[in-house]
Amino acid sequence: MTHDLTDILRGTSLLASVPVQDLEAIRAASRLRSFRRGQVVFTRGDPSDTVIVVVSGRVKVTIRSAEGGVLTLAVIRAGGMFGELGVADDGPRSGDAETLEDCQLLLIPRETIQDICARLPSAAQALARLIALTLRRLTEAAADLVFLDLPRRVAKILLSQPRGKDGVIAQKMSQEEFAHQVGGTRQSVNAALRGFERRGWIQMHERAITVKQAAALSQFAGSEVSGS
C-alpha cells in the first residue's frame, strides 16, 4: 500500500500550517519503517530523537510498574503523531511504545521539527497546543483513576471509541487492552462489560462490541456522549 506522506504530514495537528516545500523537506529527512504487530518502537529512557507519525496501523504508549503492571496512556491511530515531547525538552522517552497491529511509521528527526518550530511561529504554537492537550488528557485520566470506579472508567473508554451509525465500535479491542487502558484486570473488565450487556447498554459478539444505549452509558460514566 502506498501513501502520500506529504498529505499525511499536512493532516497532523502539528504540521497543518507548514508550507508544502517544508513538508516535502520533512518527508525527505524522515524514514518510513514497517513494524510487525507487538513490536517495540521505543522504551522508557531511550533518546527522544524522533517524532513519529502513524501512517497505518495503531500504536499504544504505556508505562510499566516494577511488578509488571501496565497502564496505557494513549493509543495512536493512523494520521496521529507521538513523541513530540522530546522536541520541547530534549529529554528521554517517558514511556514505552508498542504496535497493536502491523504498522508503517514515519520517523522524523527531532532536529527537523525543532528547526520548523524555530522558523515558523504557527508550528511552535501548534506544538505548544499539542503538549497542552496531552497534559489535559493525562490530567483527566489521572482524575478518573482516582475518582471513578472501574466500571465507570470502562464506560468512558467505550464512549471514546470511534463507532459506526449502527453503534459498532470500529476497532476491536481485547479485554486485556481494555484492562491496560483503565488500570484494571481482564477479569474486572469482563465483569463490567457483562454488567453493561445485562442492562442492554451494549451487545458483545466475540471481540466486537455494539453500543446500544450511549446515553445510558454516558449518564453512568458522568461524561458527554462521544465517539459516534
| Domain match, 163 and 203 both | yes
| Domain match, 141 and 154 both | no
And the C-alpha cell for 111?
A: 532536529
Average pLDDT, the chain: 91
Whether 228 shows a pLDDT value over 50: the answer reads no
CATH at residue 216: 1.10.10.10
| Domain match, 139 and 152 both | no
Q: Provide the pLDDT for residue 175.
A: 83
3-state SS class at 74: strand
Whether 67 shows a pLDDT value over 90: the answer reads no
Q: Provide the pLDDT for residue 199.
A: 96
The answer to whether 8 and 55 are in contact (CB under 8 A) is yes
pTM, 2 dp: 0.84
Of residues 139 and 173, the one with the higher pLDDT is 139
Whether 153 shows a pLDDT value over 90: the answer reads yes
User: Nearest-CA neighbor of 8 among 82, 67, 95, 78?
Assistant: 78
Whether 191 shows a pLDDT value over 70: the answer reads yes
| Domain match, 112 and 167 both | no
Q: Provide the pLDDT for residue 225.
A: 45
| Domain match, 174 and 195 both | yes
Q: Provide the pLDDT for residue 223.
A: 61
Of residues 36 and 162, the one with the higher pLDDT is 36
Q: Provide the pLDDT for residue 193.
A: 94
| Domain match, 62 and 152 both | no
| Domain match, 183 and 118 both | no
DSSP string, 111-179: HHHHHHHHH-HHHHHHHHHHHHHHHHHHHHHHHHHHHS-HHHHHHHHHHHS-B-TT-BBSS---HHHHH
Average pLDDT over residues 96-125: 96
Q: By residue range, what is the domain housing residue 48?
A: 5-145
Q: Which of 117, 145, 173 is the last residue of a domain?
A: 145
User: Among 125-129, 160-164, 205-209, whose mean pLDDT is lowest?
Assistant: 205-209
| Domain match, 121 and 167 both | no
Whether 5 shows a pLDDT value over 70: the answer reads yes
The answer to whether 80 and 130 are in contact (CB under 8 A) is no
Whether 149 shows a pLDDT value over 50: the answer reads yes
Whether 52 shows a pLDDT value over 60: the answer reads yes
